[in-house]
């Protein structure tokens, strides 16, 4: 299956700063990547679908100006949390959709964001 | 609306068998997935069912009935390392995954 990496794995920042999270598909060219957020003891919440070369598609309730997504190449998508606040503290996970039948989704290891 | 239901928590004994159920109502169906997620980690893929029936993979098996909107994940010969959350997800007609809230499985010695 596809190998997906994320960087950083853990980040602590001050309120008001911006944080960039990278998601890389190491062995697969991904035209589509997904960004999820997961709060403690809750399920994954899809934030947005990142499409290579075009604008991301955001889920309802997700502020596109706050969570900037850039899918500049077939192997890299970035999520930037702008002006982060403590309520943005969460586990952010990206995934890659592969397989001719779209039946395989591989997740990155996740990024733990803590905003002080 | 779209909905995935699975029990919040289950407890089982090491060496035993446990079945985790999942019922769904979605707009279209392009397969059902089971993922395992240990605390603080990303989910890992366990199984994919798109046709009715049972898929067996080692100690884990997954069953699907499309007419009933129902699936289960069967775990045999439980080990302590199987303590985790198990997420059921359905891919809808737009190839989007609809996630259940997850079932926390606690294994006791």
DSSP-derived letter for residue A100 is: T
Find chain A residues with C-beta within 8 A of B44's C-beta: 107
For A65, the token pair is 């100006």
* Confidence grade of residue A99 (pLDDT, cut at 50, 70, 90): low
Q: How many angstroms separate the CA atoms of A32 and A53, rounded? A: 10
Find chain A residues with C-beta within 8 A of B42's C-beta: 93, 107-110
Find chain B residues with C-beta within 8 A of A107's C-beta: 42-44
Mean pLDDT of A34-57: 87
Q: What is the pLDDT of residues B21-66, one digit of tens each?
A: 999 999 899 899 999 988 878 888 899 899 999 999 899 999 999 9
Query: What is the per-residue pLDDT for B76?
Result: 97
For B77, the token pair is 């010969």
Report whether the peptide linkage leading into residue A8 is cis, meaning its omega lies within 30 degrees of zero: yes
Query: What is the per-residue pLDDT for A103?
Result: 61
Mean pLDDT of A89-100: 83
Find chain B residues with C-beta within 8 A of A97's C-beta: 95
Provide the 10 A C-beta neighbour count for residue B57.
9
Measure in Å the smallest separation between the Cα of A74 and chain B Cα atoms. Answer: 19
Query: What is the per-residue pLDDT for B26?
Result: 92
Tell me if chain A has a CB within 8 Å of the CB of B40.
yes
Q: How many angstroms separate the CA atoms of B94 and B69, rounded? A: 18
Q: Which residue of A has its CA nearest to B94?
A: A102
∠ Cα B85 A93 A46 (to 5°): 85
> How far is C-alpha B56 from the geometric centre of its chain's CA atoms?
13
Q: What is the pLDDT of residues A24-35, one digit of tens each?
A: 998 888 888 899
Find chain A residues with C-beta within 8 A of B87's C-beta: 43-44
Give the rounded percent of residues in chain A with a pLDDT score beyond 90: 55
Does residue B93 surpass a pLDDT of 90? no
Indicate yes or no: CB of A110 within 8 angstroms of CB of B42: yes
Query: What is the per-residue pLDDT for B84?
Result: 96
Q: For testing the chain B interface, which of A10, A38, A95, A103 should be mutated: the one with the most B CBs within 10 Å?
A: A103
Indicate yes or no: CB of B42 within 8 angstroms of CB of A1: no
Q: Specify the residue for token string 């002006």.
A: A83
Measure in Å the smallest separation between the Cα of A23 and chain B Cα atoms. Answer: 13
Find chain A residues with C-beta within 8 A of B30's C-beta: 101-103
Higher-pLDDT residue of A102 and B9 is B9
* Confidence grade of residue A1 (pLDDT, cut at 50, 70, 90): low
Residue A80 neighbours by CB under 8 Å, 6+ apart: A18, A19, A20, A21, A67, A68, A69, A70
Measure in Å the smallest separation between the Cα of B12 and chain A Cα atoms. Answer: 20
Query: What is A13-79 written as a DSSP string?
Result: E-TT--EEEEEEESSS--SEEEEEEE-TTS--EEEEEEETTSPPEEPTT--TTTEEEEEEETTEEEE
Tell me if chain A has a CB within 8 Å of the CB of B92.
no
CB of A25 closer than 8 Å to CB of A33:
yes
> How far is C-alpha A75 from the geometric centre of its chain's CA atoms?
13
């Amino acid at each position: 299956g596809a190998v997906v990496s994320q960087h950083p794995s853990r980040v602590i920042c001050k309120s008001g700063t911006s944080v960039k999270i990278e998601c890389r598909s190491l062995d697969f060219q991904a035209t589509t990547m997904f960004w999820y957020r997961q709060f403690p003891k809750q399920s994954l919440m899809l934030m947005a679908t990142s499409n290579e070369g075009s604008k991301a598609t955001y889920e309802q309730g997700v502020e596109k100006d706050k969570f900037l997504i850039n899918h500049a190449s077939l192997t890299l998508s970035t999520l930037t949390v702008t002006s982060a606040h403590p309520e943005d503290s969460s586990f952010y996970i990206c995934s890659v959709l592969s397989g001719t039948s779209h039946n395989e989704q591989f997740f990155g290891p996740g990024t733990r964001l803590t905003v002080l | 609306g779209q909905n995935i239901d699975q029990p919040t928590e289950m407890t089982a004994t090491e060496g035993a068998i446990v079945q985790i159920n999942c019922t769904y109502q979605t707009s279209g169906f392009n397969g059902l997935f089971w993922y395992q997620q240990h605390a603080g980690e990303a989910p890992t893929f366990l199984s994919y069912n798109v046709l009715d029936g049972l898929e067996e993979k080692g100690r884990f098996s997954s069953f699907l009935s499309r007419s009933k909107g129902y699936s289960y994940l069967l775990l045999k010969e439980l080990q302590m390392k199987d303590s985790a959350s198990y997420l059921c997800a359905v891919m809808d007609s737009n190839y989007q995954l609809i996630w259940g809230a997850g079932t926390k499985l606690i294994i006791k010695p």
